[in-house]
């Protein structure tokens, strides 16, 4: 993909080079489709097919024999080039629902409001995401984890939960219906058929899409 210090901006597959979308906002949309938040009715192969169309601007012209390697490249890109960590645990965060909290934490780590940047590479965004320390986002994720495991909340956590239950409780995706219908129309126009067979098993972990790149932080155990 790239060296340890590089930021990939193209995918090289066989002897062909493909442009890719690398801005963190584009990748968050890819993750929304991969995790089923955008269209829960799609099966896993169909979700990856839509993700490929979003990630590769010229995917419609990509030879079918390049699909398996292109899919692996996407999975590795989502994980920021890091090895997968196995099967993800239960979801503890949601990129869309938690966007205000994540944006505040990432911006604090970056020393600037990342939402104001015209472009920010996904890997750079993830680096700052990993640097989020204590704060509202960490509190929300911690409470979700305790609730999932049936652990007793501390008095201050219980008070926080009562005051911010709408923020703590994960809810179904409420993304834009117009964009959803556009992408579903593309899918209907060229169903991938056996595309699911080319999808990496648990390689979405960039917050995986599993534990790193997925729709949310995942709990262990």
Is the domain of 138 the same as that of 194? no
Q: Which residue in this structure is represented by tokens 């340890």?
A: 4
Alpha-carbon distance values, 99 to 79, 112, 204 (Å): 19, 16, 20
Averaged pLDDT, 97-123: 96
Is residue 195 within 8 Å of 48, Cβ to Cβ? yes
Q: Which residue in this structure is represented by tokens 């640097």?
A: 131
Is the domain of 47 the same as that of 20? yes
Is 220 a domain residue? no
Q: Model confidence at 91, in pLDDT bands (50, 70, 90)?
A: confident
Is the domain of 85 the same as that of 140? no
Is the domain of 163 the same as that of 181? no
Is the domain of 48 the same as that of 141? no
Q: Which residue in this structure is represented by tokens 């911006």?
A: 107
CA distance 44 to 199: 8
Averaged pLDDT, 53-69: 95
Averaged pLDDT, 68-76: 94
> How many domains does the structure of the chain reveal?
2
Is the domain of 179 the same as that of 139? no
- Which tokens in the block code for residue 145? 């984890």
Is the domain of 46 the same as that of 69? yes
DSSP secondary structure code for residue 10 in this structure: E
Is the domain of 52 the same as that of 145? no
Q: Is residue 181 scored above 70 in pLDDT?
A: no
Averaged pLDDT, 103-118: 96
Is the domain of 151 the same as that of 165? yes
Question: Mean pLDDT over all residues of the chain?
Answer: 82
Nearest to 211 by CA among 133, 137, 103, 129: 129
Q: Which domain holds residue 181?
A: 10-89+173-198
Is 115 a domain residue? no
Beta strand 10-13 with 16-19 is antiparallel
Three-class secondary structure of residue 91 per DSSP = strand
Is the domain of 39 the same as that of 58? yes
Averaged pLDDT, 95-110: 94
Phi/psi at 19 (5° precision): -70, 150
Is the domain of 148 the same as that of 180? no
Is 32 a domain residue? yes
Is 207 a domain residue? no
Residue 17 backbone class (left: φ over 0; alpha: ψ -120 to 50; beta: rest):
beta
Q: Is 55 exposed, middle or buried (0-12, 13-18, 19+ CB in 10 A)?
A: buried
State residue 53's pLDDT score: 95
Is 95 a domain residue? no
CA 131 to chain centre: 17
Is residue 78 within 8 Å of 101, Cβ to Cβ? no
Is residue 45 within 8 Å of 39, Cβ to Cβ? no
Is the domain of 158 the same as that of 181? no
């Amino acid at each position: 993909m790239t060296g340890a210090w590089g930021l990939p901006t193209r995918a090289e597959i066989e002897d062909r080079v493909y442009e890719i979308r690398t801005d963190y906002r584009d990748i968050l949309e890819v993750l929304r489709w991969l995790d089923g938040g955008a269209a829960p009715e799609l099966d896993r192969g169909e979700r990856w097919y839509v993700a490929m169309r979003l990630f590769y601007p010229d995917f419609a012209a990509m030879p079918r024999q390049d699909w398996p390697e292109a899919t692996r490249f996407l999975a590795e890109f989502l994980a920021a080039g890091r090895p997968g960590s196995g099967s993800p645990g239960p979801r503890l965060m949601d990129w869309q629902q938690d966007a205000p909290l994540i944006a505040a934490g990432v911006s604090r780590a970056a020393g600037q409001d990342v939402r104001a940047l015209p472009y920010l590479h996904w890997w750079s965004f993830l680096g700052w995401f990993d640097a989020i320390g204590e704060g509202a986002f960490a509190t929300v994720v911690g409470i979700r984890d305790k609730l999932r495991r049936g652990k007793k909340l501390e008095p201050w956590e219980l008070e926080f939960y009562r005051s911010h239950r709408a923020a703590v409780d994960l809810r179904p995706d409420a993304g834009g219906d117009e964009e959803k219908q556009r992408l579903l129309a593309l899918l209907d126009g060229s169903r991938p058929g056996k595309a699911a067979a080319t999808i990496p098993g648990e390689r979405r972990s960039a917050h995986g899409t599993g534990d790193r790149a997925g729709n949310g932080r995942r709990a262990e155990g």
